[in-house]
Structure 1
């Protein structure tokens, strides 16, 4: 089983969609807290859902349960929380939200080939790395590929 992660920042639409196509991504799970910013460009929520279906023929869903809450983001932005602490806190939150149950109930049939989407260019500086690790753990050590 293989899952993917991708960040939309600093990628052209062509690069973004070709990465998804070349890696046979089957479903795009948007885990951004907010996906409607004008700064998102082609990756704005409603547009991205349309493009995923029309360009790649794949499903799309925005699920904020896989995103840190605004308070955690603010603590990180305000430099009150280093990246390691931010990621550890987010991992704890995923457990509190029973995301294991959510994954098994809502995503089990589509997890293989799924790609977790966030904005950050570098997965090591983004909550998607924790979310992907959590997903891989729930599904028995699925391989995580960062695009």
Structure 2
């Protein structure tokens, strides 16, 4: 029987830095995998790439990786966010994109174990990080997903 993978997800919106980093450390996260298309925006605050990489290492001895293959394309994202698109259409397009990219062959269960998928959305319900976690669980099985 395969060992179960513990995968976390977190969004930084509506969290201050203390709550954000305490959540990661409390869960035992070893690696944060950034799934955002744009991780350098001023709107990202303490989660801009150069800042979060430093803070994760200094505060929690947590590794940081940015994997663009786990992010939606600008077209898919803009259609949903900027044009107030339909979530079901976004979800179908993003699931197809992950399938076309074959993300299950580009990353490993070992990389995801004790890792946390990062994006901006406060809750996972309408967020691509949840779709990534569920897609990989459907491909591999044995992933315990916990939304922080």
Q: Which runs of 5+ in 2 are unaligned?
A: none
Matched, 1:88 2:105: no
Equivalent in the alignment of 1:31: 35
Equivalent in the alignment of 2:135: 134
Q: Normalized against structure 2, the TM-score is what?
A: 0.92
The SS at the match of 2:10 is strand
Determine the C-alpha separation between the residues in 1 that align with 2:107 and 2:45: 29
Contact 1:103–1:135 (8 Å) recurs in 2: no
Determine the C-alpha separation between the residues in 2 that align with 1:60 and 1:2: 17
* Counterpart selection for 2:72 from 68, 72, 77: 68
Contact 1:123–1:129 (8 Å) recurs in 2: yes
Matched residue pairs, number? Answer: 143
Q: Which runs of 5+ in 1 are unaligned?
A: none
Provide the aligned C-alpha RMSD in A.
1.2
Determine the C-alpha separation between the residues in 2 that align with 1:3 and 1:133: 10
Determine the C-alpha separation between the residues in 1 that align with 2:138 and 2:57: 28
Detail structure 1 runs of 4+ shifted over 6 Å in the superposition.
Answer: none
Q: Normalized against structure 1, the TM-score is what?
A: 0.92
